[in-house]
Chains A and B, each alone.
Chain A
């Protein structure tokens, strides 16, 4: 009984240890910064820049070789005293617009920036057009003269054919 309990607690501790371990697996390198501002700039830029290899991760997230090289490069550039804008320009110069998670507004990215607004506008227009359609009223339901005449004619034909007893529908009904 006692042994069981010890084993149980032991297992939990063991698993907890390794779970804690995996959650700390991402950051590999350590960088030292002289001041807090540079550190924050590093963190912000590595969130803004996309890892070229694993395209759904930013530099801060990714463990790939190119991401770690880029982090080191970013660190060096910051230490050299380059501005954020300079660094972003440099990265775009090497890897293209794609490297930015928040692409800049240019003729290439107009559709990305303004597409959603355009779609919403189209949606609103469609809704307005549908809502402003004339509702069905008695006036536009009423028949005009031609239609009335046609109706009369049809009704007449109907009564004349009903007078003949050989209609198959009627026959079945009687049975």
Chain B
């Protein structure tokens, strides 16, 4: 009994070490969104390409949507841009999801320039100059991509760059699941 107690501190230290070591490899920004399962928030904002045109939640809801938060000050957004174009042009993906943008805390002229220079993959981009729609969505930064189902419920928040690997791993199964639900009339 005494011998067991003598080793107790060592065991405790090793256990603590394992816990802390695991903590090192955790990504602190990788957090589940508190909004998953809730309805997409209401908004009324203009679109990037036309300051006169106002869009609301009603303009989005009805299809399975990808809502991509982007900005011209965000280098990772440039990295993921080609894959967004792929989503918008690939016949299979195009039929499955509709891609909308949220231009987050940006300048309109710069955003318009970006869409001209690098092509525009979005149905339209909501111009969220003050970042208030971003706040309602629980956005941390850009890029972030939300999956919103045909009922307007947020199903996923993904922080980081979207590429083919991430698409297969994080998005494809969920999109297929939502399509199946939709077919069942849910």
Could you say which residues of chain A place their CB within 8 Å of the CB of B152? none
Question: Is residue B55 within 8 Å, beta carbon to beta carbon, of the partner chain?
Answer: no
- Whose C-beta in chain A lies nearest to the C-beta of B105? A65
Question: Is residue B11 within 8 Å, beta carbon to beta carbon, of the partner chain?
Answer: no
CA distance A64 to B135 in the complex (A): 13
Question: Is residue B26 within 8 Å, beta carbon to beta carbon, of the partner chain?
Answer: no
CA distance A87 to B73 in the complex (A): 29
- B35 and A65 form a contact (CB under 8 A): no
Known: A65-B105, A65-B141. A95 touches B131 (CB 8 A): no
Could you say which residues of chain B place their CB within 8 Å of the CB of A73? 132, 135
Could you say which residues of chain B place their CB within 8 Å of the CB of A72? 130-132
- B104 and A65 form a contact (CB under 8 A): yes
The 16 listed contacts between A and B (C-beta, < 8 Å) are: A52-B140, A64-B141, A65-B73, A65-B131, A65-B141, A66-B135, A66-B139, A68-B105, A69-B130, A69-B131, A69-B132, A72-B132, A92-B34, A94-B135, A95-B34, A96-B32
Could you say which residues of chain B place their CB within 8 Å of the CB of A52? 138, 140
Count, chain B residues at interface, CB 8 A: 23
CA distance A53 to B135 in the complex (A): 12
Question: Is residue B134 within 8 Å, beta carbon to beta carbon, of the partner chain?
Answer: yes
CA distance A77 to B25 in the complex (A): 37
CA distance A68 to B123 in the complex (A): 28
Known: A55-B28, A65-B105, A72-B130. 12 other contacts (CB 8 A): A53-B140, A65-B131, A65-B141, A66-B131, A68-B105, A69-B105, A69-B132, A93-B35, A93-B38, A94-B135, A96-B31, A96-B138
Could you say which residues of chain B place their CB within 8 Å of the CB of A65? 71, 73, 104-105, 131, 141
Could you say which residues of chain A place their CB within 8 Å of the CB of B73? 65
Question: Is residue B57 within 8 Å, beta carbon to beta carbon, of the partner chain?
Answer: no
A23–chain B nearest beta-carbon distance, Å: 26
Q: Is the interface of B mostly helix, strand, loop or mixed?
A: loop
Instruction: Give the interface residue-count category, chain A.
Output: 10 to 19
B11–chain A nearest beta-carbon distance, Å: 15
- Whose C-beta in chain A lies nearest to the C-beta of B41? A94
A134-173 toward B: CB 8 Å interface, digit per residue (1/0)?
0000000000000000000000000000000000000000
- A94 and B130 form a contact (CB under 8 A): no
- Whose C-beta in chain B lies nearest to the C-beta of A72? B130
- Whose C-beta in chain B lies nearest to the C-beta of A93? B34
Q: Which among A52, A64, A68 has the greatest number of chain B C-beta atoms within 10 A?
A: A52
The B-contacting residues of A in range 61-105, CB under 8 angstroms, are: 64-66, 68-70, 72-73, 76, 92-96, 98
Question: Is residue B162 within 8 Å, beta carbon to beta carbon, of the partner chain?
Answer: no
